[in-house]
Amino acid sequence: MSDVKAKTAVRLGLSHLFIIALGLAMLYPIVWMVVSSFKPNNMIFSDTGLIPKALTLENYITGWKGYAGTSFGRFFLNSLAMCAVAIAGNLISCSMAAYAFARLKFAGRSLWFAVMMATLMLPGHVTLVPRYILFNRFGWVGSYLPIVAPKFLATDAFFVFLLVQFIRSLPKDLDEAAIIDGCSQVGVFLRIIVPLAQPAMVTTALFTFLWTWDDFFNHLLYLTRPETFTVSRALRTFVGDAGAVSNWGGALAMSTLSVVPCFILFFALQKYFVQGIATTGIKG
């Protein structure tokens, strides 16, 4: 028995060491970015150590000045406002669609649910040109509408599926008891389903924030005026026309600031995030 315990301890120790080494390897680029953001611009690549020989805040000062007279503070406010609208749109539309698929009986429910799931396998680039032509005819190019308006139409099938799985795990007896007491379907949705689906709703909100905040391609495609730029779009301004970065220090400093909201939100909602994922059937 002692030999078995010793082998088990060695195996667990090696597994933990491997996981720790893998975690450190994944954290290294982020640590390097943060440390390099405090180095003078001419020492970022010459001083490759994680302990800088000289420290400066000049990168944050020059980077915060932004682009074309618009500071990075404006870019952060633009991103936060757009993420807030996107979260509201996904929570409203996806929860309503999920409630319909999970609880209501209507003709073709299984067929439409299958069609919705099939859109998960459709690459976004396939619909890129039609969407751009459509939004251009609407006169929306240059504004946030092409990015946030689809959120109010339950176009993110992943979140609908996530919420459907969570709602299906809730006892139907609660719905039936509420209906017997005179509650309508809308009342059941607002008073029973939404409060109980809080973990899945928080997971939806968190993913929506991260995906909208980190999105670059759509922001590059539709946001054409500097005053409308988001953080991800504004970071592109550090790259010159020839593809070279003219201000590495400013780019790294603003990149460091751009990940702060993501870290804060994730760690603040980590409990709900884990609970939402664990109870929606997406656990292998």
Rounded CA-CA distance 28/31 in Å is 5
User: How far is it, in rounded angstroms, from Cα 145 to Cα 158?
Assistant: 21
Domain assignment of residue 58, yes or no: no
For residue 195, the domain's CATH number is 1.10.3720.10
In this structure, what token pair is assigned to residue 193? Answer: 């389903």
Per-residue pLDDT at 267 exceeds 70: yes
CA distance 57 to 54: 11
Total structural domains within the chain: 1
- The residue type found at 129 is V
Show the domain range for 93.
Answer: 69-278
Q: Could you give the CA distance from residue 150 to residue 124 in angstroms, rounded to a whole number?
A: 13
The mean predicted confidence, pLDDT, of the chain is: 87
Residue 93 belongs to a domain: yes
Could you tell me the CA-to-CA distances from 58 to 37, 42, 70, 78, 154 in Å, in that order? 9, 12, 18, 24, 44
Q: What value does the mean pLDDT take over residues 137-166?
A: 93
Each residue of 223-245: pLDDT tens digit? 989 999 999 999 888 876 555 56
Convert the pLDDT of each residue in 174-196 to its tens digit. 888 888 888 888 889 999 899 98
Is the residue at 64 inside a domain? no
Q: Is residue 33 part of a domain?
A: no
How many angstroms separate the Cα of 213 from the Cα of each of 64, 82, 208, 269? Answer: 18, 8, 8, 17
- Digit-coded pLDDT (tens) for 102-130: 998 888 899 999 999 898 888 888 889 99
Does residue 168 carry a pLDDT above 60? yes
Q: Is residue 3 in a domain?
A: no
pLDDT digits (tens, 9 = 90+) for 73-90: 999 999 999 999 999 999
Q: Is residue 104 part of a domain?
A: yes
pLDDT at 47: 74
Q: What are phi and psi of 39, to 5 degrees?
A: -90, 150
Task: Name the pTM for this structure.
Answer: 0.85
- Assigned domain for 91 exists: yes
43 within 8 A of 252, measured Cβ to Cβ:
no
Q: What CA–CA distance (Å, rounded) separates 111 from 170?
A: 23
52 is a domain residue: no
- DSSP states along 187-248: HHIIIIIHHHTHHHHHHHHHHHHHHHHH--HHHHHH--SGGG--HHHHHGGGB-TTS-BS-H
56 vs 94, residue with greater confidence: 94
Give the pLDDT band of residue 9 (cuts 50, 70, 90): confident
